[in-house]
Amino acid sequence: MAGDALIDVLVVGSGAAGLAAAVAAGHAGARVAVATKTTLQACNSAKAQGGIQAAFGEDDSPELHAEDVMRSSHSTADPRLVEVLTSDARDAIAWLEAQSCAFTRENGGYRLARCGGASRKRLLQVGDRTGHAITKALRDSFGAGDGAILAHHRLTCLEPISTGWRASFETPEARAEVETATVVLASGGRCFAEAENRGEFSTNHPNATGETTRIAADAGAETRDLDALQYHPNGGAWPATMQGYSIPETTRAYGAVLLNVEGDEFTDSLGPRDEVSQAIFDEIEAGRGVLTEDGRPAVWLDTTRIAPEDAVISLPYMLRRYRGGGIDPLTERILTYPVLHYQNGGLVIDTNAETTLAGVFACGEIAGGTHGRNRMMGNSLLECVVFGRRAGTHAATKAKA
Ligand SMILES: Cc1cc2nc3c(=O)[nH]c(=O)nc-3n(C[C@H](O)[C@H](O)[C@H](O)COP(=O)(O)OP(=O)(O)OC[C@H]3O[C@@H](n4cnc5c(N)ncnc54)[C@H](O)[C@@H]3O)c2cc1C
């Protein structure tokens, strides 16, 4: 494909954001290629369990959703991006359903849960494999079109040319170059690499190394809040096979609470993520933590308070994982400790998902602003779909202009 002039939109990354952008650009009539570091399936998005937010409850609205995002971000999010995120949410869910993603339903509507920092029940789920379901539906949709797939293409450089952009890649065979009118960067965050540097656990896929952010910044793109990394309050701490696993926040949505060594609740278990993580760190610092069998600090997550019927519908994968490790979360408490999880900041974008470089779009975890310095659970998958669609559509329009 070196020097191939038949590309309108080049998408870099095959998580939920890249796939949503690629499908949307294809629908807008563009000739699309998706380049991705390893396989099409490899990404953080497919690991997402809990769900995706959208204001469907009778007592809910996009405005209340936006208020929750701003409050959880401590007013550091960009209100224009938040307005887009929350007001496009219901349409994004309908669009996913049109790509054959089937959300869990009950009583004639969606099964909704309340996630940390939310004032209403707003989290749609597909069991506890929501990211898997969304990425599979989008991969199938993209595969049904005539877009090209460049697997095992790792982006190494991006440079402007008279007709748009030239992207350079490392492949197992040799270097490759692709010329394109517009680019959508959807290469995710950097928490796997960051955790390795810190000697900590991470929930992330090994491909989450963040080099694309640096490549875009080197090309002149503005960034924001890059230092704001998020700890998921509930990493698995024991058994060893669960270390680095992100215990879905839906455990707490369905009644699990955090307890210290004395069995006392020490924080609002459904507070914003940064506050819950900090409360755990503080409790352990104050000597009220629990030690795991291999001597690591932890606190209890009392999952025995979850009703079995909720767990069967919304936490089957988590139950299977723990029971496989010899612990039944419905009859005994589990040990947890915060784990490096998400890059809150990233490339600056506008409401069309265009970066400060003309013709370079960004969506998903690589983009900053939508969550400010503290993301709410369930808003990342939403951001991938809402801004992925915008990025793909506007990149296609610009490419053909
Ligand atoms: C365990 C876990 C559970 C989560 N649960 C939830 C949840 O319930 N709800 C929610 O909203 N969010 C959740 N999140 C967060 C959310 O899933 C991610 O932030 C989001 O899916 C990121 O999507 P993305 O498309 O931006 O990036 P990713 O899905 O990470 O995809 C990035 C893609 O870019 C590719 N790539 C990387 N570098 C390069 C390069 N140099 N060249 C080419 N390709 C490259 C990668 O291989 C990958 O295909 C969870 C995250 C994790 C890890």
Judgement on whether residues 255 and 395 belong to the same structural domain of the protein:
no
Do residues 359 and 164 make contact, with C-beta atoms less than 8 angstroms apart? yes
In a domain, residue 299? The reply is: yes
Last residue of a domain, one of 299, 323, 340: 340
The string of pLDDT tens digits covering residues 322-381 is: 999 999 999 999 999 999 999 999 999 999 999 999 999 999 999 999 999 999 999 999
In a domain, residue 14? The reply is: yes
Does residue 37 line the site of ligand 1, with CB under 6 A? Answer: yes
Mutate to test the pocket of ligand 1, among 41, 44, 103 (most ligand atoms within 8 A of CB): 44
Judgement on whether residues 37 and 183 belong to the same structural domain of the protein:
yes
In a domain, residue 1? The reply is: no
For ligand 1, atom 8, the nearest C-alpha belongs to 50
Judgement on whether residues 312 and 168 belong to the same structural domain of the protein:
no
Q: Which residues contact 5 (CB under 8 A, 6 or more apart)?
A: 163, 179
What's the rounded Cα separation, in Å, for the pair 223 and 98?
34
Judgement on whether residues 25 and 127 belong to the same structural domain of the protein:
yes
Residue 131: give its domain's CATH number: 3.50.50.60
The string of pLDDT tens digits covering residues 161-205 is: 999 999 999 999 999 999 999 999 999 999 999 999 999 999 999
Judgement on whether residues 353 and 306 belong to the same structural domain of the protein:
no
Catalytic residue ranges: 273
Give the pLDDT band of residue 244 (cuts 50, 70, 90): confident
Instruction: Look up residue 177 and give its two tokens.
Output: 């170059």
Instruction: Look up residue 87 and give its two tokens.
Output: 């007001």
Judgement on whether residues 390 and 261 belong to the same structural domain of the protein:
no
Distances (CA, A) of 335 to 264, 289, 310, 323, 401: 14, 10, 21, 14, 55
Judgement on whether residues 336 and 348 belong to the same structural domain of the protein:
no
Last residue of a domain, one of 290, 309, 340: 340
Query: Residue 4 pLDDT > 80, yes or no?
Result: no
Instruction: State which residues form the domain around 392.
Output: 9-189+344-400
Mutate to test the pocket of ligand 1, among 43, 103, 152, 213 (most ligand atoms within 8 A of CB): 43
3-class secondary structure, 301: strand
298: β partners: 290
Q: Give the distance (Å) from ligand 1 centre to CA of residue 285.
A: 32
Q: Give the distance (Å) from ligand 1 centre to CA of residue 380.
A: 9
Q: Which residues contact 244 (CB under 8 A, 6 or more apart)?
A: 201, 202, 203, 235, 236, 339
Instruction: Look up residue 385 and give its two tokens.
Output: 């779909």
Does residue 390 line the site of ligand 1, with CB under 6 A? Answer: no
The size of the chain, in residues, is 401
Does residue 86 line the site of ligand 1, with CB under 6 A? Answer: no
Distances (CA, A) of 198 to 144, 191, 234, 322, 393: 42, 10, 18, 27, 38
Rg over alpha carbons for the chain, rounded to the nearest Å, is 21
For ligand 1, atom 15, the nearest C-alpha belongs to 380
Do residues 313 and 104 make contact, with C-beta atoms less than 8 angstroms apart? yes
**What domain count does the chain have?**
2
Last residue of a domain, one of 293, 316, 340: 340
The string of pLDDT tens digits covering residues 27-77 is: 999 999 999 999 999 999 999 988 999 999 999 999 999 999 999 999 999
Residues 5-21 as b/e (b if ≥16 CB within 10 A, e otherwise) read eebbbbbbbbbbbbbbb
Instruction: Look up residue 228 and give its two tokens.
Output: 């704001």
Judgement on whether residues 299 and 361 belong to the same structural domain of the protein:
no
Judgement on whether residues 100 and 240 belong to the same structural domain of the protein:
no
Nearest atom in ligand 1 to the alpha carbon of residue 14 is 49
In a domain, residue 334? The reply is: yes
Query: Residue 3 pLDDT > 70, yes or no?
Result: no
Judgement on whether residues 70 and 165 belong to the same structural domain of the protein:
yes
Do residues 10 and 22 make contact, with C-beta atoms less than 8 angstroms apart? no
Quote the pTM value.
0.95
For ligand 1, atom 17, the nearest C-alpha belongs to 45
Residue 334: give its domain's CATH number: 3.90.700.10
